Amino acid sequence: MTSGPILINGVPSDGTISVTDSSVLRGDGCFEVMRSYGGKAFAVAEHVERLHRSAEALGLGLPSTSELTDWIERVAETCGDCLVRVVVTRGSAVPGIDTPPSVIVFGHDLPAQSSACTLFPLVAPWQGGGVDWQLAGAKTLSYAPNLASTRSAVEAGFEDALLLTTDGLMLEGPTFSVGWVVDGVLETPALDLGILDSITRRVVLDEARRIGIEVVEGRWGLDRLDDASEVLALSTVREVQPVSDVGDRTFEPGDVAKRLAEVFAALTG
């Protein structure tokens, strides 16, 4: 359910865009999602900066940072507790039909979340696993492979997927980052694997270091979880969420997840 205004290029709208837009026909565009707490969007500067990076990788022009920030804050203030989504389109993909690029900003309700999620390991051949290419790290609209992996995980009886490289290295979830704890150390896949530079991941790792939890970013296979005492999913929607199952491995919510959830809540409260 959409709540509050829909802005297209800063102007209130009914949300209609042309069927000829490249975002509709080809998934050609980029986006950001941030959480609004009590009408205040969290980490707006970081999200807008990443949106500019994604747009640059796609060769898309964007309005100024101040304009984007204003549009986001207007929607967040109206919506209260919600998700604020920013979608950038390229305009018409059909010769002879001229529709301009659009920046769409709107708010919508938060999805329901379980207290702990279950993950099904799946190979993600579309993930480069560190191979550099033009759109590495960009948050593009083309999420069809990620969403297909979520559906496969649900069909297998799990809530979502844990994506792996073709040689078995852990990467991320379809819409979230992952971490785990071994001997009190928080470990997480490194950004040089080509995973998204998640804003929530960034904040949580910084907060972990601040409160004295050692953080290590690197490359590990799935068997590293045999040594883990707890596993975490990190995202705008999930915030800091314990993981109870990864395939046939089971975990209990632990002290690290509890502490990080508390410090994250203090930042957003």
CATH 3.30.470.10 residue ranges for the chain:
2-107
**Confidence (pLDDT) at 233:** 98
Averaged pLDDT for residues 104-123: 95
State the Cα–Cα distance between residues 119 and 96, nearest whole angstrom. 46
Structure tokens at 65: 């940072």
pLDDT of residue 1: 43
Q: Where in the chain is the domain with CATH 3.20.10.10?
A: 117-268
CATH superfamily of 117-268: D-amino Acid Aminotransferase, subunit A, domain 2 (3.20.10.10)
The helix or strand, by DSSP H or E, that contains position 179, with its residue range, turns out to be strand 177-182
Place of tokens 């930042």: 267
Looking at domain 2-107, its CATH architecture is 2-Layer Sandwich (3.30)
Give the model's pLDDT for residue 153.
98
User: Which is more confident, 94 or 130?
Assistant: 94
- The secondary structure of residue 205, as a DSSP letter, is H
Distances (CA, A) of 71 to 10, 75, 187: 6, 6, 36
Residues 247, 250, 254: CA angle, nearest 5 degrees: 130
Rounded to two decimals, the pTM is: 0.94
* pLDDT over 80 (residue 81): yes
